[in-house]
Amino acid sequence: MGVSLPRKDLFDIPEGVIYLDGNSLGVLPKGAAARATQVIEQEWGQQLIRAWNTAGWMDLPRVVGDRIGQLIGAPAGSVATGDTLSIKVYQALAAALKMRPDRRVILSDNGNFPSDLYMAQGLIGTIDKGYALHTPAPEDVASAITEDVAVVMLTHVDYRSGRMHDMNAITEKAHAMGAVMIWDLAHSAGAVPVDMAASNAEFAVGCSYKYLNGGPGAPAFIYARSDIIEGVQPALSGWLGHDAPFAMELGYRPAMATERLRVGTPPILQLAVLQEALKAWDGVDMADLRAASIRLSECFIHEVTARCPDLRLASPADPATRGSQVSFAFEHGYAAMQALIARGVIGDFRAPDIMRFGFTPLYLDEADIVRAAGIVGEVINGKIYEAPEYQTRSRVT
């Protein structure tokens, strides 16, 4: 058994706030600000450029990658960190297409996060060799995997509904048809148990500012299965992906490990904050976390549906097929969410009508959930969302 949950003492949560948006941006871990100050004042400030060696900056992408790897079932050395998730999607997809040069279909689903699809569309336009992106409904993906498919690229947990794909079954089908498998773990890492090694998928990508609490703009990660890495041809052949960057060779020679998937200078400040944030996971058993997540989400569904018949559950009712979030559809969802936020219950909204709530057992307990559901009932049944101040949409919803 791991440590007991929640671990609220490890986080700075504003007084009076019930934070149900950790699936979009995690809360501030205690120690993160001090770690950033240390890097700025002591490492950068005092050691200057020497800190690349003396403070271990050059090794930080690997060190943090290995810690993330422990949360996603990836062996040491198989996870590289840095850049953004969109860049990591591009890297994985470009490398995967080169592994199947005679095929021209990229298969995703129409519930995938738009940025992943945009990156695929952009890559197709850049290559300009007759590739096509197919996006069937999520439930039809398995049957759409044929021998024409080069790459299957899916987000494990749907960002709107929380619907969760069967990772092992789909990966097995992809491999049976000769396709390469890429999983986006943006809503999985730190939320549900993941075992990349057992899945046998070639690639996975993910971000670290959601359930991993790395902060806004925290660096993304990319996983590559250990037995394929030396054959991976990086599309973005950056300096720090070179086997010997300080040899200053004019030609690119990829590193002989996942390091080849590094691109440019690593974001040291953000990596250091993420490294500090990941300490909250020390001793946490993902099976315990998943059990707590299901208890919290089931409690929320029960409490909200009992109070609010006007809300429609937009997430799978079966927790085994749902990630660590719950979504309700409501015609006035945006305004209702703004009214909730004004009352200290912070979730978010996704078009066209989804009110989305995330469950992070590291800092939420059942009492939080019951109080939040009560406030949801007050806002919906009292039609508080009709107030004028909740009608104007912000740029970020």
Amino acid letter, 166: D
Sorted by sequence, the CB contacts under 8 Å of residue 161 that are 6+ apart come out as 111, 314, 315, 316, 327, 354
What six digits make up the tokens of 157? 């947990």
Average pLDDT over residues 308-321: 96
Mind listing the pLDDT tens digit for each residue in 351-361? 999 999 999 99
Say which DSSP state 258 is in. Answer: G
- Which residues are paired to 151 by β-bridges? 106, 180
* Whether 168 contacts 121, CB under 8 Å: no
57: DSSP letter: G
List active site positions.
113, 184, 209-210, 356
Cα–Cα distance measured from residue 46 to residue 239, given in angstroms and rounded to the nearest whole number: 26
Of 246, 264, 281, the last residue of a domain is 281
pLDDT given for residue 257 in this prediction: 87
Q: How many other β-carbons are positioned within 10 Å of the β-carbon of residue 353?
A: 16
Segment 56-111, tens digit of pLDDT: 999 999 999 999 999 999 999 999 999 999 999 999 999 999 999 999 999 999 99
Other Cβ atoms closer than 10 A to 282: 12
CA angle 226, 216, 41 (to 5 degrees): 95
**Per-residue pLDDT at 54:** 97
Contacts of 33 (CB under 8 A, 6+ apart): none
Q: Which two tokens stand for residue 100?
A: 């199947």
Q: Shortest CA distance to 382 belongs to which of 338, 334, 336, 346?
A: 336
CA-to-CA distance for 328 and 314, rounded, in angstroms? 5
100 and 246 housed in the same domain: yes
Please state the rounded mean pLDDT for residues 334-350: 97
pLDDT for res 1: 60
State the DSSP code for 164.
B
Is a pLDDT exceeding 70 seen at residue 323?
yes
Average pLDDT over residues 5-18: 96
Residue finishing a domain among 281, 302, 317: 281
* pLDDT band of 396, cuts 50, 70, 90: confident
Tokens found for residue 185: 């773990």
* Residue 225: CA count within 13 A, CB half-sphere: 18
Q: Whole domain around residue 194: which residue ranges?
A: 32-281
Residue 1 domain flag: no
Average pLDDT for 164-174: 98
Same domain, 217 and 350: no
H or E element, residue 154: strand 149-155
- Tell me the C-alpha distance between 228 and 222, whole Å: 14
Nearest CA-CA partner of 380 in 333, 343, 344 = 333
Report how many helices (DSSP H) and strands (DSSP E) the chain contains, helices first. Answer: 12, 15
What is the model's pLDDT at position 397? 81
Residue 381 included in any domain = yes
Position 148 scores a pLDDT of 97
**Taking the alpha carbons of 92, 96, 97, 103 in that order, is the dihedral positive or negative?**
negative
- Mean pLDDT (whole number) for 270-282: 98
Identify whether residues 151 and 290 lie together within a single domain: no
User: What are the structure tokens assigned to 231, written together?
Assistant: 């054959």
Identify which of 312, 316, 275, 272 has the alpha carbon closest to the alpha carbon of residue 297. Answer: 316
> 298, 319 in Cβ contact below 8 A?
yes
Q: With respect to residue 63, please indicate whether it lies within any of the assigned structural domains.
A: yes
Last residue of a domain, one of 246, 281, 316: 281
User: Does residue 127 sit in the same domain as residue 224?
Assistant: yes
- Take residue 82 and report the two structure tokens written for it: 């840095």
Model pTM greater than 0.75? Answer: yes
The CATH number of whichever domain residue 108 belongs to comes to 3.40.640.10
pLDDT tens figures, 117-134: 999 999 999 999 999 999
236 within a domain of the structure (yes/no): yes
Both 157 and 214 in one domain: the answer is: yes
213-217, 235-239, 337-341, 379-383: least confident range: 235-239
Containing 30, the helix (H) or strand (E) segment is none
Dihedral sign (CA 255, 261, 267, 273): negative
Average model confidence (pLDDT) across the chain: 96
Q: What percent of the chain has pLDDT over 90?
A: 95
Asked whether residue 266 carries a pLDDT value surpassing 70, the answer given is yes
Same-domain check for residues 290 and 178? no
